[in-house]
Amino acid sequence: MAKLETVSPNKPPASRPLPKAATGIDGLDQITAGGLPKGRPTLVCGGAGCGKTLFAMEFLIRGATQFNEPGAFITFEETGEELAANVRSLGFDLDALITANRIALDHVRVEPSEIAETGDFDLEGLFLRLGLAIDTVGAKRVVLDTIESLFGGFTNQALLRSELRRLFRWLKDKGVTAVITGERGDGQLTRQGLEEYVSDCVILLDNRVNDQISTRRLRIVKYRGTSHGTNEYPFIIDDKGMSVLPVTSLGLSHEVSNERMPSGVARLDTMLGGKGYYRGSSILISGTAGTGKTSLAAHFAAQTCRRGERCLYLAFEESPSQLFRNMRSIGIDLEPFAKKGLLKMHASRPTLFGLEMHLVQIHKMVTELNPAAVIIDPISNFISGGTTGDTQSMLLRLIDFLKARQITALFTHLSSGGNAGSTWEGTDVGVSSLIDTWLLVRDIELAGERNRGLYVLKSRGMAHSNQIREFVITSDGIDLLDVYVGPEGVLTGSMRAAQEEREKAQAAERRQADARRQRELDARRAALQAQIAALQAEWKGVSEEAKLLAAQEQARESAIAEQRAAAARRRGGDAEKAKNEL
């Protein structure tokens, strides 16, 4: 699917753009670069049930309500009541608009069984009624649904054709923007070849069934005097009317952000250069069944909401309540975020409708919610809704669309094969090249156990870890652990736990040995101290004895001197001398 046809550069710059009447239908005005040709008739054709009447009605109602262009609806098939009831389910109040004189409605009933033709006639009655309807509301827009019914009512086809030609001429002269619907015929756009008369703009609606899945598509077959998108564009009809998706490959011109968005798992952020994913990048989490892809996605969703940003979660496997319950079991409560309106869960089966319709829906929801992050869980299921090529093209457009809006997109992907290494590094949908950050969650089977390992396969624009981390899901969320790499390979799970135990035991042993040695040293020190004390006591004893000895010596000396003096006195000589000597 190519991109929108662009205005050719060598177009004369002075050319006056064709005046257009905006339809107000989502996306259609983009494709037609402004709307339907103003003041001219447009033919809307398609098979039964492809939305022609609704297209016409929405064009008219939006004209009356949004663009101040009242309209006249001439219906040839359904009555006014039927039409009002039909569009009420799409949120349009036709009766109120008719009462307010914004829309005039006339049901032209042509009953062939009651009519006999006798000679020349014209459709002046129809002209008068149309004129009346236009004049009552001052209509700028006119719908004729389905004028081909007239062909069933009258036998003179040649006359009818010339009258139709006159009618379209007359509408142009009136300057009203007209939508004429027509049933698709064999080999031509309409059964009666209305395209012959309405040649300014032809829009073809289609409702194709492919593998039991129907997709509505719209194509502008022709639009005179203006450039327009030439592709088939899918469209949906929901409770807000029609929306056409001008999904195109936007090319690679989007702005990038340097801002980071945490993944919700602290250790994973560390692996991704310490800060997490880039804002506006596309992230793929691939892995086999039960490896925790959804848990990782839920972490990211919770983290985004915690920061007060909006997140769109598209679940294609689980219902919202099941997802809430399951994530609560690992400690992530998403429900409060959903209640606050930050998290929008949308669960549907991928096979509910075709890829294009999914794309339209996602497009619509993203436009309405304007989220910071979109999670698609999982994208692999889309393959069941289309071929691989279709899926790839759809995802490419989706990623381009989200990138252009700086929305971070996280996809999970269920790898089909668990046995071959090649499947881990390839996806069935072939989106690997579109992905900026690719996480792989893998089963590591060892010693009768399955454990999970997480790798960062690639992460553009950041220095990311090359390590395998063991990925454990606890009741408090995801935890990433180091993996033991030993001679027998990586150790995970209980082998890692055993290794941890062994290391713990070794540490304890070492601690005990240290303590024992400490005790020995203490004892020796104590013994030495005791020795020192004994020696000191001995030294003290010895020195006291020495003092005593000296004192005895002195006493003996003085006693001798005393005796000597006494002996001299007794001898009586040298008494004076002896006195001085003392």
Report the residue from 125, 138, 225, 389 that binds another protein according to the rule CB under 8 A.
125
Q: Specify burial of residue 237 (Cβ count, 10 A radius: 0-12, 13-18, 19+).
A: middle
User: ∠ at Cα 450 (446, 452), nearest 5°?
Assistant: 105
Q: How far is the CB of 81 from another protein (least distance, A)?
A: 16
Q: Binding another protein by CB under 8 A: which of 94, 126, 213, 247? A: 126
**What's the Rg (C-alpha) of the chain?**
47
CA distance 138 to 375: 49
Q: E-strand spans in 467-509? A: 469-474, 477-482, 484-486, 489-491
Is the backbone peptide bond immediately before 487 cis, with ω within 30 degrees of 0? no
> Is 117 one of the binding residues for another protein (CB under 8 A)?
yes
Report in angstroms how near the CB of residue 168 gets to another protein at its nearest.
16
User: Regarding beta strands 449-459 and 469-474, do their DSSP bridges make them parallel or antiparallel, or are they unpaired?
Assistant: antiparallel
Q: Which is nearer to another protein, 148 or 206 (CB)?
A: 148
Q: Cβ of 214: how many Cβ atoms within 10 Å? A: 16
Which one of residues 2, 14, 16, 120 is an interface residue with another protein (CB under 8 A)?
A: 120
The reply to whether 128 sits near another protein by the rule CB under 8 A is: yes
Among 123, 311, 373, 491, binds another protein (CB under 8 A): 123
Q: Does 115 bind another protein (CB under 8 A)?
A: yes
What is the distance between the alpha carbons of residues 552 and 548, in angstroms, rounded to a whole number?
6
Structure tokens at 549: 């000895």
Classify the C-alpha dihedral 258-261-262-268 as positive or negative.
Answer: negative
Other CB atoms within 10 Å distance of the CB of residue 151: 17
Shortest CB 16 distance to another protein, Å: 36
Cβ distance to another protein smaller for residue 110 or 369: 110
> Which C-beta is closer to another protein: that of 169 or that of 579?
169
| Interacting positions 22-51 with another protein (CB under 8 A) | none
- C-beta of 30 vs 149, nearer to another protein: 149
Burial code of 79-104, b = ≥16 C-beta within 10 A, e = fewer? eeeebbeebeebebebeebbeeebbb
Q: How far is the CB of 135 from another protein (least distance, A)?
A: 9
Nearest distance from C-beta of residue 124 to another protein, angstroms: 4
Can you give the three-state secondary structure of 384-395, one letter per residue?
Answer: HHCCHHHHHHHH
Round to whole Å and give the CA distance between 370 and 62.
Answer: 24
Give whichever of 110 and 221 is closer to another protein, judged by the CB atom. 110
Hey, what are 480's tokens? Answer: 């990433």
Interface with another protein in residues 418-447 (CB under 8 A): none
Is the Cβ of residue 54 or residue 126 nearer to another protein in the bound state? 126
Q: Is 131 among the residues that bind another protein (CB under 8 A)?
A: yes
Stretch that binds another protein, among 125-133, 286-294, 438-446, 462-470 (CB under 8 A): 125-133
To another protein, the closest distance from the beta carbon of 171 in angstroms equals: 16
- State the Cα–Cα distance between residues 470 and 480, nearest whole angstrom: 6
Q: How far apart are CA 461 and CA 242, in angstroms?
A: 40
**Residue (121 or 539) nearer to another protein, CB:** 121
Binding residue (CB under 8 A) for another protein from 77, 86, 98, 129: 129
Using the contact rule CB under 8 A, the part of the chain among 131-139, 237-245, 389-397, 460-468 near another protein is 131-139
Long-range contacts of 253-258 (CB under 8 A, 24+ apart): 254/280, 254/400, 254/403, 254/404, 254/406, 255/406, 256/280, 257/406
What x/- string results for residues 146 through 185 when contact with another protein is judged by CB under 8 A? Answer: ----x--xx-------------------------------
In the complex, least distance from residue 166 CB atom to another protein, rounded to whole angstroms = 13
- The 8-class DSSP code of residue 488 comes to T
Q: Which member of 132, 352, 447, 508 binds another protein (CB under 8 A)? A: 132
| Residue among 97, 462, 514, 459 nearest 274 (CA) | 462
Residue among 119 and 251 whose Cβ is closer to another protein: 119
CA separation for the pair 6, 199 (Å, rounded): 22
Nearer to another protein, 161 or 267 (CB): 161
Under rule CB under 8 A, how many of the chain's residues touch another protein?
26
Nearer to another protein, 164 or 444 (CB): 164
Structure tokens at 311: 């997140």
Q: What is the rounded CA–CA span in Å between residue 271 and residue 274?
A: 6
What does 291-325 look like in DSSP terms, one character per residue? SSHHHHHHHHHHHHHHTT--EEEEESSS-HHHHHH
Binding mask 84-113 for another protein (x = CB under 8 A): ----------------------x-xxxx--
Closest contact distance (angstroms) between CB of 152 and another protein is 12
Q: State the nearest-atom distance from the C-beta of 55 to another protein, in Å.
A: 24
Q: Residue 124, interface with another protein (CB under 8 A)? A: yes
The tokens describing 58, both together, are 């929405």
- Choose between 125 and 461: whose C-beta lies nearer to another protein: 125
Query: In the bound complex, what is the minimum distance in angstroms from residue 195's beta carbon to another protein?
Result: 23
Applying CB under 8 A, among 118, 212, 422, 475 the residue interacting with another protein is 118
* Residue 129 contacts residue 59 (beta carbons within 8 Å): no
Interface residues with another protein (CB under 8 A) are 106, 108-111, 114-126, 128-129, 131-133, 150, 153-154
